[in-house]
Amino acid sequence: MSETEVKVEGGSPASKSVAEIRSNEIRNPQFEIRNSKSAIRNSIVFDDVSKFYGEILGVNRINLQIAPGITSLVGPNGAGKSTLMNLMTGLLQPTRGRISILGTPTDQPEELFHKVGYCTQFDSFPRGYTGREFIESYLLIQGIDKKQAEILTTTALERVSLLDAADRKVAAYSKGMRQRIRLAQSLAHRPSVLILDEPLNGLDPIVRAETIALFRSLAAEGMHLIISSHILHEVDMMSDFVVLLSNGYVLAAGNIHGVRDEMDEHPMQILIRCDQPGKLAARVFAQDHVVEARLHDDLGGLFIRTRRPDEFHLLLNRIVAEGEINVESIGPVDDDLNAVYQYLIGSEHATR
Amino acid sequence: MSSTVDIVPSQIAKQPLRWSLRLRQLSAIFTLETSKNFLGKRAIIIYLLALLPVVMFGGAALAPRLTANFVGLHVAYAWIYAILILRTVVFFGCAWIFMNLFRGELVDCSLHYYFLAPVRREVLVVGKYLSGVAASTVLFVGATIISMLLLYFPHFSSESSRFFLDGPGLGHLLTYAGVTILACIGYGAFFLFIGLFFRNPIIPAILLYAWEWINFLLPPLLKKISVIHYLNSLVPIPISEGPFAVVVEPTPAWIAIPGLLLITAVVLVLAGYRIRHLEIRYGSE
């Protein structure tokens, strides 16, 4: 992933940590702000976008530039994920600001939807169609000839493992099958940008894994995938970038570890498995940047919280080199999406 | 699930946006919508409406006493055509077909599939409208023709044959069919517009119905802001509108037909403008 803008603006009534994150643009060496024409042509750009439903806020002052790869929109219900997706595809029109997808404004459907496929969250279908007819019909209205539409339909059905059920009525499909047929319909015309609103809902574990593998392979080919999800560990597993939303505001955006590093007010929590955790606690607690040291319940490890993880790791290297304490493993405890989500949005919404 | 991917730049994406492409899209939308209009569950109502005059005239054909006076049949058909076919069957049939073109998809939460296709939304309006015109025309023109033939059927061996083959009968039949087509075109555009603009299209449809019914009482200028005024000017046998009617010279066909088509075009342009700005928010529908 070579370039993406990670710029967070706007105001939210959320916690102090959120305000601090907001007030400082998240800078990460991996993400350089690029505004050149070629960068805009290769990315999805939100330029000061707001959407109000009458007096109700949908999203506010969104500035994002999303590069190819898998980008996940994460947030509780009502955070603005679906609104952002609907704005990206012209199903909603922004009250303020502009959006472009690979250089195309969202009010030009003729050009836009050659590039974009959108699998919405609406679990509804035109009446009376089989799976095959459903996909083929919407390819035909694009002006594709019948033969090509048949080939594209079969390929899409194959991709989501629905070829066997293709000639059954969609109304008779299970929830998971309906999810997959919508996915097939959104990618049948081979778009460069695939927008997926809760695409893993209703899928069984095996199909979930297959679907994630499909997303990864699509992303590896240079495709943009924008995915919204509540399932944090799956998002963590598959995403290159994460956009955290709450109450219509972007709280943070970027590589999840980069976002975590910026959260100074939440010292990094690290678990060290060792043979003498008490002794280690005494050594490390003398440091300014270590704000907490707590023994693990099984007394076989030590949780520490540090404001400067790099310095802490250097210290730990020295301690290990001295040979007094035998360290078995070291690992961050809260350097994942779930932790970031809890810090920024609140633990009551987190879903593992 | 196959994760083998062959993303090739879409051939379609590279096609210039030519009119031929739009025509293909229009043709596909027309085909899709026409099959829905004829074969969908919602079509049952328009079949019943179209059958109403057919059943009625079929019944009359079986009761020779009702059709004994051949000369009286011309006026009888003119009245029944004006009240039953034009103001009831065609009006409500078009209301059902055209309001459901968009409103029905909003209710079914399936309009977004069209909006997510690389098709200009105006093309969608035209495609759906033409499919509605095709369905309403086939059914209601069919009902108009069959009804008239059934009415004259008891005299088939004598006056009716002469009326249709040597007299003005065929002309009348074609004129009534033409008026029905124009009614479908005119009402269709209005109902499509209503279906796009109003969440509950029943109220504006009832208002339009009332407006069309009181047309004979309106001053000359207001009379012309209606579909029925132009259609009344075109029917072969004008009917008396009663002692309270405001008498206005019938609009000549060369004005009535282009006038109606022009109003239709204006309404469709407004519908096109509306759909460009239409947002998909099923929750609020």
Query: Which residues are within 8 A (CB) of A59 and not within 5 positions of it... i.e. 6 or more apart?
Result: A49, A50, A51, A80, A83, A84, A87, A245, A248, A249
B112 and A111 in contact by Cβ < 8 A?
no
Instruction: Give pairs for A77-84: CB < 8 Å, separation 24+.
Output: A78/A247, A79/A245, A79/A246, A79/A247, A79/A248, A79/A345, A80/A245, A80/A247, A80/A248, A80/A249, A81/A197, A81/A228, A81/A245, A82/A121, A82/A197, A82/A228, A83/A51, A83/A58, A83/A59, A83/A248, A84/A46, A84/A59, A84/A245
What percent of chain A stands above pLDDT 90?
Answer: 43
Task: Give me the mean pLDDT over the A213-218 stretch.
Answer: 90
| pLDDT computed for residue B284 by the predictor | 58
A114 and B280 in contact by Cβ < 8 A?
no
Task: Give me the mean pLDDT over the A228-239 stretch.
Answer: 81
Q: Which amino acid is at B132?
A: G
A158 and B8 in contact by Cβ < 8 A?
no
Residues of A in contact with B108 (CB under 8 A): 124, 126-127
Task: Give me the mean pLDDT over the A137-166 stretch.
Answer: 95
Is the pLDDT reported for residue A180 higher than 90? yes
B119 and A90 in contact by Cβ < 8 A?
no
B32 and A140 in contact by Cβ < 8 A?
yes
Which helix (H) or strand (E) segment holds residue A74: the answer is strand A69-74
Residues of B in contact with A137 (CB under 8 A): 28, 32
Task: Give me the mean pLDDT over the A135-154 stretch.
Answer: 95
Using a CB–CB cutoff of 8 Å, tell me whether B71 touches chain A: no
Is the pLDDT reported for residue A250 higher than 60? yes
| pLDDT computed for residue A7 by the predictor | 37
Alpha carbon distance A349, B1 (integer Å): 31
Q: How far is CA A43 from CA A2, A34, A67, A239, B180, in A?
A: 11, 10, 5, 16, 53
Phi, psi of A85 (to 5 degrees): -70, -40
Residues of A in contact with B22 (CB under 8 A): 143
Q: Are A122 and A85 in contact (CB under 8 A)?
A: no
Using CB atoms and an 8 Å cut-off, which of residues 193-252 of chain B contact chain A? none
B1 and A191 in contact by Cβ < 8 A?
no
Q: Which of A110, A148, A216 is facing B17, going by the closest CB pair?
A: A110
A127 and B8 in contact by Cβ < 8 A?
no
| pLDDT computed for residue A297 by the predictor | 87
For residue B34, the distance in angstroms to the closest alpha carbon of chain A comes to 13
Q: What is the pLDDT of residues A321-340, one digit of tens each?
A: 888 888 888 888 777 777 77
Residues of B in contact with A204 (CB under 8 A): none
pLDDT 10s per residue in chain B (285 long)?
Answer: 654 444 444 444 455 557 889 999 999 999 999 999 999 999 999 999 999 999 999 988 887 777 667 778 888 899 999 999 999 999 999 999 999 999 999 999 999 999 999 999 999 999 999 999 999 999 999 999 999 999 888 777 778 788 888 888 899 999 999 999 999 999 999 999 999 998 888 999 999 999 998 888 888 888 888 888 889 889 998 877 666 666 677 788 998 899 899 989 999 999 999 999 999 988 655
CATH number at A268-333? 3.30.70
| pLDDT computed for residue A10 by the predictor | 38
Q: Which of A113, A248, A81 is nearest to A194 (CA)?
A: A113
CATH number at A16-262? 3.40.50.300
| Better-scored residue on pLDDT, A208 or A140 | A140
Question: CA torsion angle for B61, B65, B68, B72 (degrees, to 10)?
Answer: -90
Is the four-CA dihedral A141, A142, A143, A147 of positive or negative sign? negative
Q: Token pair of A112, please?
A: 């836009």
Extents of the domains making up chain B? 28-284
Is the pLDDT reported for residue A272 higher than 70? yes
Q: How far is CA B172 from CA A144, B91, B144, in A?
A: 44, 21, 11
| pLDDT computed for residue A324 by the predictor | 82
DSSP string, A115-166: HEEEE-S-----TT-BHHHHHHHHHHTTT--HHHHHHHHHHHHHHTT-STTT
Q: Which of B1, B3, B119 is facing A109, going by the closest CB pair?
A: B119
Q: How far is CA A183 from CA A199, A227, A242, B10, B119, in A?
A: 7, 12, 21, 18, 20
Extents of the domains making up chain A? 16-262, 268-333
Best of A42, A106, A141 to disrupt the B interface (most B CBs within 10 Å) is A141
3-state helix/strand/coil string of chain B: CCCCCCCCCCHHHHCCCCHHHHHHHHHHHHHHHHHHHHHCCCHHHHHHHHHHHHHHHHHHHCCHHHHCCHHHHHHHHHHHHHHHHHHHHHHHHHHHHHHHHHHHHHHCCCHHHHHCCCCCHHHHHHHHHHHHHHHHHHHHHHHHHHHHHHHHHHHHHHHHHHHHHCCCHHHHHHHHHHHHHHHHHHHHHHHHHHHHHCCCCHHHHHHHHHHHHHHHHCCHHHHCCCHHHHHHHHCCCCCCCCCCCCCCCCCCHHHHHHHHHHHHHHHHHHHHHHHHCCCCCHHHC
> Which ipTM value was assigned to this complex?
0.82
Is the pLDDT reported for residue A32 higher than 70? no
DSSP H helices, chain A, are 16-23, 37-41, 81-88, 109-115, 131-140, 146-159, 175-187, 205-220, 232-238, 256-262, 277-284, 309-322, 337-344
B115: nearest CA partner in chain A: A91
Neighbours of A291 (CB within 10 A): 12
Phi, psi of A195 (to 5 degrees): -110, 125
Burial class (CB in 10 A: 0-12, 13-18, 19+), A30: middle
Using a CB–CB cutoff of 8 Å, tell me whether B29 touches chain A: yes
B35: nearest CA partner in chain A: A128
Alpha carbon distance B226, A90 (integer Å): 36
Residues of A in contact with B41 (CB under 8 A): 127
Using CB atoms and an 8 Å cut-off, which of residues 87-146 of chain B contact chain A? 105, 108-110, 112-121
Sheet harboring A327-332: ordered strands across? A290-295, A301-306, A268-274, A327-332
* Low-confidence winner among A32-36, A123-127, A343-347, B196-200 (lowest mean pLDDT): A32-36
| pLDDT computed for residue A77 by the predictor | 85
Phi, psi of A89 (to 5 degrees): -110, 10
Query: Distance from CA of residue B95 to its chain's centroid?
Result: 8
Using CB atoms and an 8 Å cut-off, which of residues 40-59 of chain B contact chain A? 40-41
Task: Give me the mean pLDDT over the A103-112 stretch.
Answer: 92
Residues of A in contact with B37 (CB under 8 A): none
| Better-scored residue on pLDDT, B189 or A289 | B189
Q: Which of A107, A126, A223 is facing B110, going by the closest CB pair?
A: A126
Using a CB–CB cutoff of 8 Å, tell me whether B35 touches chain A: no
Is the pLDDT reported for residue A86 higher than 50? yes
| pLDDT computed for residue B282 by the predictor | 81
A161: nearest CA partner in chain B: B1
A86: nearest CA partner in chain B: B280
Q: Token pair of A225, please?
A: 């995938």
| pLDDT computed for residue B163 by the predictor | 86
